[in-house]
Amino acid sequence: MYLNKRKAIFLISILSLVFLLTINDIKSQELKVIDGDTIHLNDEKIRFTGIDTPELKQTCIKEGVINQCGLTAKKILIEKIGNSKVKCISEGKDQYKRILAECFVDSESLSSYLVRRGYAFAYKKYSKKFIKDEDYARTKKIGMWAMEFDYPWDYRRNN
């Protein structure tokens, strides 16, 4: 009987520990993609650090055809996230009180993914982290690198 009690207590302890470690994963996640580099996650506005994506109304031109590159960046982000859980590492807040963070899906950086797909740029003014991803997309002419475009910061200044 003594051995059975010990096994029961041990089993309960293990199950309690597993529950406590996974309780965050049990909570539902409320996510809304605002644009290519901004999301609302559980009522908090999060701006991805180190990258800049085209504005929603921003267009690019490929072989004389207008591409809604701002909407495409948002679409790529939505498709990448799918039904996966997004985890973010906060790096502070910006002047607009948004949380600045790098966010991940299945341990893959969403920022790196967007830059390598050619629909985000390394925001060198604030970070050097995604320069290699940008170099990859630029040399392979992926995404916007195969089009005529304005950098997002230039587009905002001129519009």
Question: Nearest-CA neighbor of 128 among 73, 55, 51?
Answer: 51
Do the domain assignments include residue 82? yes
Do the domain assignments include residue 123? yes
Q: What is the pLDDT of residue 23?
A: 41
SS3 97: coil
Domain count, the chain: 1
Q: What is the pLDDT of residue 66?
A: 97
Q: How confident is the model at residue 119 (pLDDT cuts 50, 70, 90)?
A: very high
Do the domain assignments include residue 81? yes
- The Cα 59–Cα 69 span in angstroms is 5
**Is a pLDDT exceeding 60 seen at residue 68?**
yes
Give mean pLDDT, residues 96-101: 94
- The Cα 127–Cα 120 span in angstroms is 13
Average pLDDT of the chain, as a whole number: 89
Could you tell me the residue range of the domain that residue 127 belongs to?
Answer: 29-158
Phi, psi of 85 (to 5 degrees): -85, 135
**Is a pLDDT exceeding 60 seen at residue 1?**
no
